[in-house]
Structure 1
């Protein structure tokens, strides 16, 4: 691990001064544009800030309506800074500022956009302390007050306010810091509001120490949100798709009259090896429907979780938020295809329409277009001229090439669902389709996507990356209006070139042509996040989830977005929704545990881990489980209990920032726990053992 990685992974104690402008959301745009720069100027002019910056012992974290100042020197530094700010702000009566101070662990992380950021319970609790106050208040946590109380200078400044109940039922003990000319001596308004409910809370409240955080595991979990399928395969943890009914959604979705979901078609062919063709027919009809702008069409990823011809169509329609369900069956004999479809009203199970089609393989595109047009008519959705143009597009006239293409699509979807371990079969089949029809632009685009995905998460091959760029260029040369081609090009800009501006410019024009394509919205969300447009990022991924409500990849992205915005309650709610859809997804569960810990919901975090029987877990996951249980005990100052937990031995990994288990990490954690107990000899012994393991890997 290089020095930069060590710095990023190392836990440090930060003395945090959290500052915001009270009532900032009620200011006019003009007032906002004046208030923040003025606050920034006053902060920068304080002697405490200048001295800490000169000593390289200060990190400034903007928060939208204020900032967090993380001092890494003395506990007195944020207090001195707060007093200096309070004095300076007396000359600015229109700038209503409140401050909160706490001392606790902080650490460097890569945020949802892979930029360096600072997080940790030290910052979270400082914000909660500040939130208890009004304009002019300097509030400090009980822990900071206890540390300051050892010095005669500060004793007269400290005025105990008691306990406040804040978010999620968490109770914080707060002390008001003021003297003549600094601070605000008036009791906070929230003190009266929360006093009634605290008598019971005090009896139940156990002291929470923000100790050694499971930073590295949580970092791994956030990274794994993007690459979870590959990680699951590499570790041999299979999570086969549920072909029955998935769990209910967290909340009912609104029902639009012009909305439809296409469920998996039933395979009536004698050759059960035709599964790829049956899935392809469903996909192609769904794709045709999605081109109609007046319709809301649910993506395949969400509908694939259901079995064909289920009994509970009304419940499924409610879960997916659609008014109608299209189901069907496919029978294939050589190049002859028989397809039956029926449209069901999801609100009352009434049959709206049914028909059957007999076609040769080379003529299925006309059938797909006819089905889409009829469904639109039954749902009273009008086709625009542009819709008709999109529906008329035929990707190939070569039946054999189309058959290879459907097989390739099936193979790529099997990889995405973590049912196979490699994209190589899909890549080979796309290449066969192109060999049969060199003008097959869509096959070039899909080949480019498979190569890009394989290069990023499977083989890490520069040649695959070069091939992907070559093939997407060929796809757009053959068809400059190809939506899939522009999508892959945008992904290359975003994931390979790290050029969010070009990625966004590539996909934004596609929204008009493909309003039901959630992949476009996913790229827009990621690009806007990289550009700092947090609300745009959130809006885009939420819209993608409306079209694909059971796509756990999108839901994980939403959770990661909430984490980046420090909206932990919503992140937790989203992670719980993912867990209900994929109960065996250990990445999501560990991520959820991390968020619960960050939110001081330690009992819930522990319960989440204890629900996992050890017998079901592989060694890596079991070691991660006990590493987190150990951290929870540390947070609660139960050091002996933390040391008593036996974390299973697994091989060391480098860099350990990715997977924080193995003897290197385990002994490092033990060393810190011994330090917290004051046992320096045992700490040195543990750190030495960790170093020996690390040196062994380096040689």
Structure 2
């Protein structure tokens, strides 16, 4: 099955056993069609000599297949990324966090720490510098930790160091691209660097994935999907790639393709929370609450996971407010020790305040919204004005200050203009619609929803409009019902497909 997915005739399997500074590597070459063992060998090495095994294995495999490595291939396998085993171990630790599906602020922070350690141990480790640039830029983009500005500066330094050490390395060019993408929101410069990386490594799935991601920002959704398809064809078992591709298919409401992509990921990692949550959210998006409930029933999601968010959404749609409120209160009593700041707590409290509000507990909701507002104002004092804009705007409108709420959205648009970022172009109108409906401005809410209904990547789904109590005041209005009907899924898929 693996050989079929990869489109290859032979599979190289291996295992590693480590004891102290000794390593045993067992390898075997298998013909996939017949399960015939073509070659096998074991290697005992000291940890400090581990990198030489790669070249030995590659040469032996080529001989077993009666072929010969080209000069470029021989040079590539002989080129060691580092001579420091401890630096390489730290680098692998960083990749273990970087390459997980979905996004986590805590995992982003952990990856940065590992890559920092890798380059500290070996300042000439170009690939580690490149990954440090990527993860630091991503942390800056998401404004994690207590000093996100320093992450932006670190990303630029790390990317420059990678280019200085190995200017013809695709990963170095990727690092520069991500420093522009995440660090400066300069998408044109990012694309230029990603294209340079592609010229150096045409079959590198990470390069194609980078191009897919940045093209979403420029509004080139079809081009983005094509890059994802090319990347998945080259690297069909890359779970990070499958996750990002599935997310993009879901965002443009290509639900059947999204589900197929998530299922490929789950075939490899059966309980992967982001893919499970995304499948559940697709059924919710389509208005199939029964299918979503069936998937959620056997699960007990961690409070920091996407699955927990999907469970809260489900209870909200089913009007099971007491269950959702109880779960959120329990989650707030057990904050994650891995949290880099108060953001996760604030998002949970915002959900709690909204549920208290729609359930009719107005006084308690007001107290919770006030707590959200105070915490977010403190946190935003060291962030840009797009950070937490939705939650803060909702807090202000719920507390009766709709003018302040609209001003927050306007300030966010000034930081990241919708005209320069297609993702912001769909994000900000969604906030405006939510504020307007709480403020009782039905006309503005309908205008924003009508705009969103015409846009690729619209974050407000058919399922949300159909079932969320948030939109109850609009129900029965012909314009609203027309918007709902226009978003009804045309390729609805069941859990059996």
TM-score range, shorter chain: 0.5 to 0.7
* In 2: Cα distance, 1:518 partner to 1:376 partner: 24
User: Which SS does the other structure have where 2:122 is aligned?
Assistant: helix
The TM-score with structure 2 as length reference comes to 0.59
* In 1: Cα distance, 2:266 partner to 2:68 partner: 39
Partner of residue 129 from structure 2, selected from 435, 444, 448: 444
Provide closer, same or farther for how the CA distance between residues 691 and 581 of structure 1 changes in structure 2, counting only shifts above 3 A: farther
The answer to whether the 8 Å contact 1:343/1:353 transfers is yes
After TM superposition, list the pairs within 5 Å mapping 1:124-163 onto structure 2: none
User: Which SS does the other structure have where 2:55 is aligned?
Assistant: helix
* In 1: Cα distance, 2:304 partner to 2:219 partner: 39
The answer to whether the 8 Å contact 2:6/2:236 transfers is no
The answer to whether the 8 Å contact 2:350/2:369 transfers is no
* Equivalent in the alignment of 1:409: 91
Partner of residue 667 from structure 1, selected from 345, 348, 356: 356
Q: Which moved more, 1:547-556 or 1:480-489?
A: 547-556
The TM-score with structure 1 as length reference comes to 0.44
How far 1:382 moved relative to its partner?
A: 6.1
After TM superposition, list the pairs within 5 Å mapping 1:299-698 onto structure 2: 331-332=22-23, 339-355=25-41, 367-376=53-62, 378-379=64-65, 383-395=69-81, 399=83, 402-416=84-98, 422-423=110-111, 424-434=113-123, 439-452=124-137, 455=140, 459=145, 461-612=148-299, 618=303, 624=309, 627-633=312-318, 642=320, 647-648=325-326, 649-650=328-329, 651=332, 658-659=347-348, 662-670=351-359, 685-698=360-373
1:317-367, CA deviations, whole angstroms, 9 ceiling, x for partnerless residues? xxxxxxxxxxxxxx44xxxxx655332212222222334567777766555
Which structure has more strand as a fraction of its residues?
Answer: 1
* In 2: Cα distance, 1:370 partner to 1:520 partner: 28
User: Which SS does the other structure have where 1:266 is aligned?
Assistant: strand
1:253-306, CA deviations, whole angstroms, 9 ceiling, x for partnerless residues? 36333x65x545221x432xx5xxxxxxxxxxxxxxxxxxxxxxxxxxxxxxxx
User: Which SS does the other structure have where 2:230 is aligned?
Assistant: helix
* In 2: Cα distance, 1:358 partner to 1:622 partner: 43
* In 2: Cα distance, 1:474 partner to 1:356 partner: 37
The answer to whether the 8 Å contact 1:606/1:632 transfers is no
How far 1:664 moved relative to its partner?
A: 0.6
Q: Which moved more, 1:500-509 or 1:358-367?
A: 358-367
How far 1:591 moved relative to its partner?
A: 2.9
* In 2: Cα distance, 1:548 partner to 1:355 partner: 26
* In 2: Cα distance, 1:646 partner to 1:394 partner: 52
* In 1: Cα distance, 2:44 partner to 2:324 partner: 64
* In 2: Cα distance, 1:656 partner to 1:340 partner: 47
Which 5+ residue runs of structure 2 have no aligned equivalent? 101-105, 334-341, 375-497
Q: Compare relative contact order (CA 8 Å, sep 6+) and give the higher one, 1 or 2.
A: 1
User: Which SS does the other structure have where 1:549 is aligned?
Assistant: coil
Provide closer, same or farther for how the CA distance between residues 537 and 264 of structure 1 changes in structure 2, counting only shifts above 3 A: farther
* In 2: Cα distance, 1:481 partner to 1:511 partner: 11
The answer to whether the 8 Å contact 1:344/1:353 transfers is yes
Provide closer, same or farther for how the CA distance between residues 618 and 584 of structure 1 changes in structure 2, counting only shifts above 3 A: farther
How far 1:447 moved relative to its partner?
A: 4.0
The answer to whether the 8 Å contact 2:115/2:131 transfers is no
- The RMSD of aligned alpha carbons is 3.9
* In 2: Cα distance, 1:665 partner to 1:512 partner: 50
* Equivalent in the alignment of 1:265: 15
The answer to whether the 8 Å contact 1:521/1:543 transfers is yes
* In 2: Cα distance, 1:597 partner to 1:611 partner: 17
* In 2: Cα distance, 1:619 partner to 1:453 partner: 19
After TM superposition, list the pairs within 5 Å mapping 1:227-306 onto structure 2: 253=5, 255-257=7-9, 260=11, 263-267=13-17, 269-271=18-20
Which structure has more helix as a fraction of its residues?
Answer: 2
* In 1: Cα distance, 2:306 partner to 2:170 partner: 40
After TM superposition, list the pairs within 5 Å mapping 1:61-140 onto structure 2: none
How far 1:495 moved relative to its partner?
A: 1.6
User: Which SS does the other structure have where 2:318 is aligned?
Assistant: helix
The answer to whether the 8 Å contact 1:521/1:541 transfers is yes
1:523-557, CA deviations, whole angstroms, 9 ceiling, x for partnerless residues? 01112332333333122222323344343322221
Provide closer, same or farther for how the CA distance between residues 475 and 377 of structure 1 changes in structure 2, counting only shifts above 3 A: same
How far 1:430 moved relative to its partner?
A: 2.1
1:223-243, CA deviations, whole angstroms, 9 ceiling, x for partnerless residues? xxxxxxxxxxxxxxxxxxxxx
* In 1: Cα distance, 2:165 partner to 2:305 partner: 47
* In 2: Cα distance, 1:522 partner to 1:654 partner: 28
Count of paired positions? 354
* In 2: Cα distance, 1:339 partner to 1:654 partner: 44
* Equivalent in the alignment of 1:311: none
